[in-house]
Amino acid sequence: MDDATLIAQVQAGNDHANRFLIEKYKNLIWHMVVRMVDQTEDAEDLCQEIFLRVFRDIGKFRGESKLSTWIGAIAYNMSISYLRRKGKNIMVSVDDYLPEASQKPAVESADEAIDKSSMKKIVHRVIDSLPVQYRTVITLFYLEELSYKEIEEITGMPDGTIKSYLNRGRQAIREGVLQLVPDMRPELTGTR
Amino acid sequence: MDPENDRFKELDALITEALKEKPEWELSLSFTDTLLRKVEKRLTWRELIREFAMKTGIVAGALIILTVCLIFPVRESINPFLLLVVDHWQLVAGAGFLILFTFFSDQVLLKFYSKQRLFSDPRS
């Protein structure tokens, strides 16, 4: 079902179209929200609010962008509003970001074996500690596999900013992982 | 091949793999059904309010037209009636509110709550 047909059916009050729209876009919204908001109970409520807004405003969709990016933009703006309401500082620069510097390293000694899944958990810990814009851009690019243009439409950030967030975010993740797994550092310092 | 470079590539590959992984938490299984019920409720409420506003508008419009039609032929004798209405405006406003509230309850509240039972029990 293409976007125009889906929108027409939703506006006509077709239950199956409503269900189809939710099923089609719930993962996009959930991934964005859970990475941005970071609290699962609130995240699910926020997802519902986002969908209710989508159903309310779907008549305003003019087809100038893809439906997915229009829905993504609603999810992004509502998540940012939610964070502002909660008093979270959303404009933190990655230069000010210290990847869990005060925490103990995840691995104490080089003898301690660290498997792939543990390493991934460490990577996710570092991602969760990144500023919200970085998490959003990284999620949309890597997880949702959206193009720069689509990310631009969702977040309203210029192309250059998105690329910069991706590069600096990735760099920050690498540094964060090395900080949490110090036994990797001596071997890697020569290449950095 | 430089083993340090290999480890570095390995770490980069691992980061990319982790970035492409779905979040650990998932939406509840009932998410779609719960949301659809909410959407249905809101749409029903909006529709009932719209119908109520239209019906009220039609009745009010008809009453205004009727009043104007009645007032014009008997302009001279209408003054005492208007004075009576003005003197007892609280009573008139109260009666108007009561009629409107009864109409609202019948057209919106009762219909909404009877439909809500269907939302909460989809089998019925």
Judging contacts by C-beta atoms under 8 Å, the chain A residues touching residue B23 are: 30-31, 34-35
In terms of CA atoms, which chain A residue is nearest residue B8? Answer: A188
Does residue A190 have a pLDDT over 50? no
Of the partner residues B19, B26, B36, the one whose CB lies closest to the CB of residue A19 = B36
Q: What is the pLDDT of residues A115-155, one digit of tens each?
A: 777 888 888 888 888 888 898 999 999 999 999 999 999 99
Judging contacts by C-beta atoms under 8 Å, the chain A residues touching residue B24 are: 124
3-class secondary-structure state, position B46: helix
Query: A180 exposed, middle or buried (CB, 10 Å; 0-12, 13-18, 19+)?
Result: buried
**Count of pairs with CB atoms under 8 A, one residue in A, one in B:** 91
pLDDT band at B93 (very low <50, low <70, confident <90, very high): very high
Distance CA B101, CA B58 (A): 16
Judging contacts by C-beta atoms under 8 Å, the chain A residues touching residue B7 are: 184, 187-188
pLDDT band at A187 (very low <50, low <70, confident <90, very high): very low
Residue of B36, B25, B42, B40 whose CA lies nearest to A42: B25
ipTM topping 0.85: no
Residue of A124, A24, A111 whose CA lies nearest to A70: A24
- The alpha-carbon gap from B15 to the nearest alpha carbon of chain A, in Å, equals 7
Distance CA B98, CA A177 (A): 69
Does residue B123 have a pLDDT over 80? no
Mean pLDDT of B76-102: 86
Of the partner residues A22, A119, A187, the one whose CB lies closest to the CB of residue B36 = A22
Inform me whether the C-beta atom of residue A170 falls under 8 Å from chain B C-beta atoms. Answer: yes
Of the partner residues B20, B22, B35, the one whose CB lies closest to the CB of residue A22 = B35
